[in-house]
Structure 1
Amino acid sequence: MKFIVIALFIALANAAPQGPNQDIPIISQNSNQEADGSYNWNYETGNGIRAEETGSLKRATSADTNDVIVAQGSYSYTSPEGELIQITYTADDVGGFQAQGAHIPTPPPVPAAIQKALDYILSLPPSQRQGN
């Protein structure tokens, strides 16, 4: 989870065009950490970057795993082409990091014949599936 947050900050820092030695002011910045592990933070910069996240501690779904942080948040910035990029995301132990945004490419739909074959394979007991 820490890696995701660090990667997010690096991506945001590199997203906005900046001239040499150009200082970008922090317009607002808030952070709150509770004793139960829940937290929230947000910030906005002078060049239009905004980000916020809320998270809480949750019991892991697997008995052999430590508690996990469940988080949801968003960030936005203006691309070098002038397009406003807006991302919302959730992150947890079940689905991992899942981002949504209008500019994120989506895969084409699975062809009907292939989906039918996959559904059939999944309907078989595990012992009858090839490769088991």
Structure 2
Amino acid sequence: MTVLVTDTGFSPDPWAGAEFTALDALTANPEMPGQGLAIDMPNDRDPAELAPFLDRIAMIRVAFPGMGDGRGFSIARRLRAMGYTGTLRASGPLIVDQARAARRVGFDEIELPESVAERQPEELWLARPAASYRAHVFA
């Protein structure tokens, strides 16, 4: 089970039950029919592989196998630079401290394992105005 985090906190997953297509399946069958595809993007592949398909993809879920593996941030930034405008989801054990960075590079939402969400409750994920550390401490 997973928990979806958006700017408004924990949210229902509009893609629950959707069939995600593996990147390899898409690149092996470039004539795959359909609009509104949902794609699973591993973090060890070049996002340029998706370039011919971007107009047909509604959702890209980028894998974060570990909290310390930041390759997914680079993938998100590159996808947005390539013109991708659909939903971009980070999926894996990210922590609250990474939420702002995820939004900054183009992620719309974060899919957390339930065990991570239990340790980091919803109120920690709510978007707050950016303030400097100094302003926060000496306020």
Query: TM bucket by the smaller chain?
Result: under 0.3
Greater percentage in helix? 2
Q: Which of the pair has the greater relative contact order for Cα pairs under 8 Å at 6+ separation?
A: 2
Give the TM-score normalised by the residue count of structure 1.
Answer: 0.27
TM-score, with length taken from structure 2: 0.26
